[in-house]
Structure 1
């Protein structure tokens, strides 16, 4: 069972942007879509290891700044090459203005 951890305040992630948070051994790109929807994915592009949290967020699509691979932040699926492998996603919830991400139990 996954455990939720507070990683940011909602105000830390401007609408239409992503930030990088570290939780245990995970580097997570935390995206704010439209001001009230938060999504969490691995921060590492599956094509070349680029930092997804530093990429452009356009709606639900985040673009790797290295080679332009795009992923859907809702489910991690690849939207455009050169990546062909989806990124991992994590459950997110907001509680009292804090964004919490679920990390799988080991």
Structure 2
């Protein structure tokens, strides 16, 4: 696979997750307060809940349904009830384009 344009950098609002899809994979894209763009799997590992409907605080994304927070850097859950990580993807910025290849998972 190759990197796919999922959105424009100008479409991202700081600390507001955006649900996108790349090659059939649902991904939550987040522009954090430090200006870094993160991409993690959009489905909470505790329940079939879209993480892009959750809340960003610092470098975490919290599931709105049960409160599990996931690290935007590693995908690891930081509290229960989730105990399995979500995938984290490599993000490439090219001008205003945000590119993600869902086959390239970020090494943490």
Paired residue total = 104
CA RMSD of aligned residues (A): 1.4
Q: Does structure 1 retain, via aligned residues, the 8 Å contact 2:23–2:102?
A: no
Unaligned runs of 5+ in 2: none
1:84 corresponds to which residue?
83
Quick check: which one's strand share is greater?
1
Q: Does structure 2 retain, via aligned residues, the 8 Å contact 1:14–1:35?
A: no
Counterparts of 1:100 and 1:35 in 2: how far apart (Å)?
Answer: 19
Unaligned runs of 5+ in 1: none
- Segments ≥4 residues shifted beyond 3 Å: none
| TM-score normalised by the chain length of structure 1 | 0.92
1:5 corresponds to which residue?
4
| TM-score normalised by the chain length of structure 2 | 0.90
Counterparts of 1:24 and 1:63 in 2: how far apart (Å)?
Answer: 25
Counterparts of 2:44 and 2:94 in 1: how far apart (Å)?
Answer: 29
